[in-house]
Amino acid sequence: MAFIPYSRQQVSEDDIDAVVRVLRSDFLTQGEEVPAFEAAFADRHQVAHAVAVTNATAALHLACLAMDIGPGSLVWTSPNSFVASANCALYCGADVDFVDVDPATRNLGVAALAHKLEAAAAAGRLPQLLIPVDFAGLPCELREMRALADRYGFRILQDASHATGASYLGRPVGHAYAHATVFSFHAVKVITTAEGGLVTTQDAALAERLRLLRSHGIVRGQAQTRQPPDGPWSYEQLVLGHNARMTELQAALGRSQLTRLGAMQARRAALAARYDTLLADLPLQLPPRRPDADSAWHLYVVEVDETRTGASRREVFDALRQAGIGANVHYIPIHTQPFYAARGFRPGDFPAAERYYARALSLPLFPGMTEAEQDRVVDVLRQAMTGG
């Protein structure tokens, strides 16, 4: 039987034609495709500015820099994420800490955040930036987080790498509450540019700083340079930037994919709903649903309830893999990684994230998945957990 991955990109003939058109054009980089992709993405997400870069890690890093995160800054994020959500602050020389997750949503918990902020205010060490993560595609409770941000004086950089096309309080993710929002277009994400990332913001000055930082800190033209130009070839470096430009090929693929975002997301949602029905009687905690948010369903993550089954999470995982089903686990809590242990974090620091991780199992979910493939996943899972 064919292997079923936990996720897989869906590339159409239109996507291929879009990339080929760029290959036959005069510009493979720094042409018109990147601005066109940015404009289309901003329009779809109802936001004023979109700045595309090489990948979501670069997007997080540059957004931190654009928000003046540096030595002496303190950044808080979720322990339930890929390491990039924390590493981006360290790249800037800042300090990092974590806020435990809500056991129901697996996102950074509002109650835990409020409690930690109260203690931090008393100690005189509040964060400058919060990076909440929309885990599996479910938006965080940004309205409540923004109220806390306004009260305590920090900014919010939303990591929506899983949440392209998701909505919160009836509006697209990236539209409001966060000061800036990061999206990922890695191959297995909701839409793909193969690799790629993007930052949205309503703040024109922040967007301009992001554009400067992604291209070496260099500007061209009399409108932006500070000294009289030597000639039409002149350019000036104004800040220490990076080379984080998205290529025309990536942008063309992303713009084509974006036209199918609604259809691909609807398929993900339909498969997630079908999983809910097929798995309802198994000893699993199924993914959360909230009336104020529509998930992008990047991942379908269950938790194995070992108190109601004789099978451990590892045994279930192994049974799926042995049957050619690419189950996965998202994520090992960041603070338990050796690098972060060397920075003083210990197991037990964030118990809700650790308990979730000990039970978590990501089942295959992608737009091209057939119902027959989904039935196969469920059959193997049922056999592993119940023996029948």
Burial 42-77 (b: 16+ CB within 10 A, else e): bebbebebbbbbbbbbbbbbbbbbbbebeeebbbbb
Q: Record the tokens describing residue 117, joined without a space.
A: 């902020």
Annotated active-site residue in 189, 313, 335, 376? 189
Q: Could you give the strand order of the β-sheet that contains 300-304, starting from the edge strand earlier in sequence? A: 284-285, 300-304, 360-363
Plot region of 32 (φ>0 → left; ψ -120 to 50 → alpha; else → beta): alpha
CA 371 to chain centroid:
27
* Amino acid, single-letter form, for residue 115: H
Indicate if 189 belongs to the active site: yes
Nearest to 375 by CA among 278, 308, 255, 288: 278
Contact 257, 192 (CB under 8 A): yes
- Where b means 16+ CB within 10 Å and e means fewer, 297-328 reads bbbbbbbbeeeebebebeebbebbeebebbbb
What backbone torsions phi and psi does residue 179 show, to the nearest 5 degrees? -75, -30
CB 301 within 8 A of CB 328: no
Catalytic residues: 189
